[in-house]
Amino acid sequence: MIDLSYFFLGVLLWLGCCGLLVTLLNDTSSSSTSPKKTSKSDFLLTDSLLNHQKDIVQIEELNKQLANKIHQLALAIKKNEALEEELQITSDRLESNEDQYLEYQQNFCHQVKELENQIKSLENKCLDLTTKLDSLPEELINHWQQESFNLLQTLLANYPTAKTMVALKPDLPAKNVITLLKPLDKLLAKWGIESIGKPWERVAFNPQIHYSDEENLTTNELVYIRFVGYIQGNLILLRAKVSRTLPGKK
């Protein structure tokens, strides 16, 4: 707030000047009613009146200065009120920003805590998966062996009987033995394994899927498949064995 001491001092000066002016006017009126004594007294009276007029002029000047000061003081008070209002607005904004900062800080701490909990949860899951992974290969092997046995169980059950039949009857027709090996076709189909070519089929030589004991075979040279190969999707499991001639032919 603006200090009002200057305002009250100006008011006191103004009141004092007014009192002095009234006193001088009273002296003037009383001197005008009194009878003239001497010319010297008239001279003194004239001088006093002149001084009195000078005082009046000074009082008026002081009054003007006082009015100007009062006006400046009023403007200063208004300016101070505007500054106080602006200061209050700034203070309110600071309080609002502080509240927002505290809110942001609380949200940040909450998010950090949630992330820490998620990290801890992921670490626990990772440990659990690692533990399961250690025992996974054995489980997969056991599962694969069980599934393979289920597919081959007919072949495994018939194979010993087939060996005994061939030993006792060497002239046993081959188709009877082939019938016992049909479960192999089902197993290959189950695994998505396909044969490369057919036995004794004539094909163009491709070194990516064919191989031979003969030398100097060139790409796209016509050859015969002696033993088929196998492929699973794009993976070549076994290349087919080929030759330029069939068995028993030159």
Domain boundaries, the chain: 5-31+38-108, 194-250
pLDDT top residue among 108 and 8? 108
pTM over 0.75: no
Q: Is the pLDDT of residue 38 over 50?
A: no
Cα 222 to the chain's mean position, in Å? Answer: 64
Structure tokens at 143: 């599962």
Per DSSP bridges, beta strands 240-243 and 222-227 are antiparallel
Q: What does the pLDDT read at residue 2?
A: 47
Q: Is the pLDDT of residue 25 over 90?
A: no
User: DSSP string spanning 68-83?
Assistant: HHHHHHHHHHHHHHHH
Residue 211 CA to residue 229 CA, distance in Å, equals 10
Q: What is the mean pLDDT of the chain?
A: 76
Q: Across 109-113, 161-165, 181-185, 198-202, which has the greatest mean pLDDT?
A: 198-202
